[in-house]
Amino acid sequence: MAKEQVAGFEDSYEVEGKMALPYTYFAGRVGSKFITTIRDQQKIMGVKCPACNTVYLPPRQVCDKDFTDIRDNWVELNNTGTVTTFTVVRYDDRHLPRPAPYVLALIQLDGAGTPFMHIVEECKIEDVKIGMKVEAVFAKETTNTILDIDHFKPAPEKISIHALNTARKQWNPADEPATNEKRKGGKPDMATPVIIAAALTGAATMKNQNPSVPYTPEEFAEEAWKCWQAGAAMVHVHAREDGGMATHDHGRIKATHDAIKDRCPELIVNLSSAVGMGKTAEQRISQIVAIKPEMASLNTNTMNFGIVERKTGKIFIDYVFENTFTMLQDFSRAMEENGVKPEIECYDMGGLDNTLLIARQGIFSDPMNFNFVWGVAGGQAFRAESFIAMMNALPPRANFTTCGVGTDEFPCIMQSCLLGGHMRVGLEDNIRMPDGRLARGSYELVEVAVSIASALGRPVATATEARLIMGMKPR
């Protein structure tokens, strides 16, 4: 310590001393919940200001921008984040959490608007960079401090759609009319969130084609959960028996539906009204009426529905999928009367026209929700100009989504996303990734859809937003 001469006190000197000052303090109501949630549930919670949407982490009681009391507005954040800046601690001190050298970084969790300080380990010090993605590693034993997150380690780059959705403002039709209200403007609509649906099974895709096709209710719940994590707001389901056969059994379909709802209560479940080949009209609709899912598929024309080899044109399965006008009318009525929103499946323009004809009876609630299906052997193949023609033929305020069989899947969802429509992917329609390898599950195809949405700058709809857009009751 520097010693200064004081005039008139040439003999004075300073004594150097040290003082240990252990102390405890009350972390506060907000701080206590933050620490105990990490300790007991391994969850990192922030608080979100409802006025300016800033998510504070560490949490605080009052927003420092607008002084709103935010202490009860908790949001769960992901365990991943980004290093915004860092330093290397190079000198040891017994009060420090690690022997030097180690990295102390400011880390902004995905979904948070403010960074907080923590240790980065499990990589070389010289590899730590500003902008690097990191993931929390929780302590095995509690210390009742912020070190119940033991440290952060490098994480693979991945978009966490739920974190992005937590951070942004919820879409509100009062501020921003939906695509279906302004389609005629001709300008691509990138503001309406895009609904991503995952079709987990279909009636025909089997485990020997892709082992991730679910059969049991537990497998459905797991697949649905993965799709939900990846950004899907809805799953479309054809229930199966344990051996993989498509089933119309009410008990089995309800068990499958309920297993998904138990695991992901927010997710919209869309049940198929085409429950496999050779089922009667009664078998197809009675399960919908019994279970009353939020949404169900409604098929619009009688058509060939075969399996034909693409390269050679050789027919493997020749089948007529019967959907008469009477069935279309009766199924529509049964769904609408039971509070089930029909997803109107159009395999070509004829199916769309059939629906518009029947709709004159005043059966459908507003808005109508259409799905343009491409590439079924018996329906039309994907063509960009056919897509536009179908979109232009929709009734006012109708929504549209799309799906395509095999490699038709990617171009059709891209076009839909670009035109303000929605996207369906999943193993029912396609078992492969764009590069041709088998998808690890429908969730990986959902990730492709999310990357298309982000490339176009469109937000991905939460289930709440999807319900608003499609005209369903809020949950």
Q: Could you tell me the CA-to-CA distances from 277 to 190, 274, 285, 304 in Å, in that order?
A: 39, 8, 14, 12
Q: Which is nearer to Zn ion, 116 or 215 (CB)?
A: 215
Q: Which is nearer to Zn ion, 217 or 420 (CB)?
A: 217
Question: Does residue 272 bind Zn ion (CB under 5 A)?
Answer: yes
Instruction: Give 197's strand partners.
Output: 234, 424
Q: Binding marks (x or -) toward Zn ion, 71..110, rule CB under 5 A?
A: ----------------------------------------
Q: Which stretch binds Zn ion (CB under 5 A): 255-263, 264-272, 300-308, 399-407?
A: 264-272
Q: What is the total residue count of the chain?
A: 475
Contacts of 347 (CB under 8 A, 6+ apart): 300, 301, 303, 373, 376, 378, 379, 380
Q: Which stretch binds Zn ion (CB under 5 A): 55-63, 144-152, 265-273, 376-384?
A: 265-273
Judging by DSSP bridges, how do beta strands 369-374 and 341-346 pair with one another?
Answer: parallel
Q: Which residue is nearest to Zn ion (CB)?
A: 272
Question: Does residue 192 bind Zn ion (CB under 5 A)?
Answer: no
Q: How far is the CB of 238 from Zn ion (least distance, A)?
A: 5
Q: How far is the CB of 226 from Zn ion (least distance, A)?
A: 18
Q: Which is nearer to Zn ion, 432 or 458 (CB)?
A: 432
Question: Does residue 205 bind Zn ion (CB under 5 A)?
Answer: no
Q: Each residue of 403-415: b (16+ CB within 10 Å) or e?
A: bbbeebbbbbbbb
Q: Which is nearer to Zn ion, 80 or 272 (CB)?
A: 272
**Touching Zn ion, residues 339-368 (CB under 5 A):** none
Q: How far is the CB of 451 from Zn ion (least distance, A)?
A: 24
Q: What single-letter amino acid sits at 94? A: R
Q: Which stretch binds Zn ion (CB under 5 A): 149-157, 271-279, 349-357, 392-400?
A: 271-279
Q: How far is the CB of 57 from Zn ion (least distance, A)?
A: 40
Q: How far apart are CA 167 and CA 140, in angstroms?
A: 30
Q: Which is nearer to Zn ion, 167 or 340 (CB)?
A: 340
Its sign, for the CA torsion 380, 384, 387, 389, is negative
Q: Which is nearer to Zn ion, 180 or 272 (CB)?
A: 272
Burial class from Cβ neighbours inside 10 Å (0-12, 13-18, 19+) for residue 15 reads exposed
Q: How far is the CB of 216 from Zn ion (least distance, A)?
A: 18
Q: How far apart are CA 45 and CA 30, in angstroms?
A: 10
Q: How far is the CB of 360 from Zn ion (least distance, A)?
A: 27
User: Phi/psi zone of residue 83: left (φ > 0), alpha (ψ -120 to 50 degrees), beta?
Assistant: beta
Q: Which is nearer to Zn ion, 171 or 400 (CB)?
A: 400
> Is residue 399 within 8 Å of 179, Cβ to Cβ?
yes
Contacts of 91 (CB under 8 A, 6+ apart): 100
Q: Which is nearer to Zn ion, 272 or 462 (CB)?
A: 272
Q: Which stretch binds Zn ion (CB under 5 A): 267-275, 374-382, 409-417, 430-438?
A: 267-275
Residue 229 is encoded by which pair of tokens? 């994590």
Q: How far is the CB of 272 from Zn ion (least distance, A)?
A: 4
Q: How far is the CB of 465 from Zn ion (least distance, A)?
A: 23
Edge-first strand listing for the sheet containing 44-48: 55-56, 44-48, 74-77
Q: How many residues bind Zn ion (CB under 5 A)?
A: 1
Q: Which is nearer to Zn ion, 82 or 272 (CB)?
A: 272
Reported for 252-257, long-range contacts at CB under 8 A and 24+ positions apart, including other chains, are 252/217, 253/287, 253/291, 254/290, 254/291, 255/217, 256/217, 256/220, 257/291, 257/293
Q: Binding marks (x or -) toward Zn ion, 218..257, rule CB under 5 A?
A: ----------------------------------------
Nearest to 192 by CA among 412, 453, 474: 453
Residues near Zn ion (CB under 5 A) are: 272
